[in-house]
A = this chain, B = another copy of it.
Amino acid sequence: MGYGHRRVREEMSNLSTAVVETIRQQIIQGHLCPGDKLPAESALENEFKVSRTVIREALSRLQTAGLVEKYRGKGTYVLTRPTDHSFSAPLQENQSHQDRLDLLDFRIGIEVETAGLAAQRRSTTQLAAIRTALDAFEHANHKPSAAVTTDFDFHRSIAVAANNRLYLDLLQSLGPTMISMPQTRLLQADQEAQATHFRRVVDEHQAIHDAIERQDPQGSAAAMRTHLSQTRARLALVTTRG
């Protein structure tokens, strides 16, 4: 037990998620090019050995993700992905993996500096608020909606402690979905992996808080960078791993 290297893709929570990831990889790796027509749903049905229900759900999700477009009576076609990054496309709810990676790069720039400023300028009241948010997040395990909310609250409490309205406004404009990114949990297979991930995040949050508490700007900035970089690395791993 516990060799730790089980096949991620085959242990998905449901079949349609597996189909989504498989087709997504085919698009990313170039086996399906923009403009190509996907096989008909009935054909995919045979190819993946699942019912049309699953295929349809997978294609629907790929459509909302902006990877394909479906036309009634015609078929399903791969969209040209890289160039249609129009206004604030990365911030829409249905992001591609690249959008999420870009978002994390963006948050690194903002939140690393925010953490540094917070360590310099926090009041004791603001530190207490960070502590409260940290505890709330720690106890939000097994409550997904609370986890999303409290995770966001933690990051926001740091922005408050930075005492710079611009950082706070920007973070709040991103919102809980962009901070906690609950969509990515669809990619995590078993419950054990999710628990491990949650614990890691809690530890990283703790490190950020501690550095802010001892008024160590470089330390808090480094801890925040670690936190976001780790998150990005975990996400990138899932993406590139075929």
Residue total for A at the interface (Cβ-Cβ under 8 A): 73
Select one of B1, B143, B167 contacting A109, CB under 8 A.
B167
Is A219 part of the binding interface, using a Cβ–Cβ cutoff of 8 Å?
A: no
Residues of chain A from 39 to 65 with CB closer than 8 A to chain B in the complex: 53, 56-57, 60-61, 63-65
Question: Which stretch of A87-95, A124-132, A205-213, A234-242 is in the interface?
Answer: A87-95
Is A5 part of the binding interface, using a Cβ–Cβ cutoff of 8 Å?
A: no
Closest chain B residue to A152 by CB distance?
Answer: B80
Please state if A182 and B109 are interface contacts (CB–CB under 8 Å): no
Please state if A177 and B82 are interface contacts (CB–CB under 8 Å): yes
Select one of B78, B146, B174 contacting A145, CB under 8 A.
B78
Select one of B65, B112, B170 contacting A113, CB under 8 A.
B112
Copies in the complex: 2
Please state if A64 and B66 are interface contacts (CB–CB under 8 Å): no
Select one of B61, B67, B90, B182 contacting A80, CB under 8 A.
B182
Is A123 part of the binding interface, using a Cβ–Cβ cutoff of 8 Å?
A: no
Residues of chain A from 164 to 182 with CB closer than 8 A to chain B in the complex: 164-167, 169-170, 172-178, 180-182
Which residues of B sit under 8 angstroms from A183, Cβ to Cβ? 63-66
Select one of B72, B102, B117, B177 contacting A165, CB under 8 A.
B102
Closest chain B residue to A60 by CB distance?
Answer: B57
Given A146-B35, A148-B34, answer yes or no on A169-B88 (Cβ-Cβ < 8 Å): yes
Q: Which residues of A contact B (CB under 8 A)?
A: 1, 3, 13-14, 16, 34-35, 53, 56-57, 60-61, 63-67, 69, 72, 77-94, 102-103, 105-106, 108-110, 112-114, 117, 143-146, 148-149, 164-167, 169-170, 172-178, 180-183, 185-186
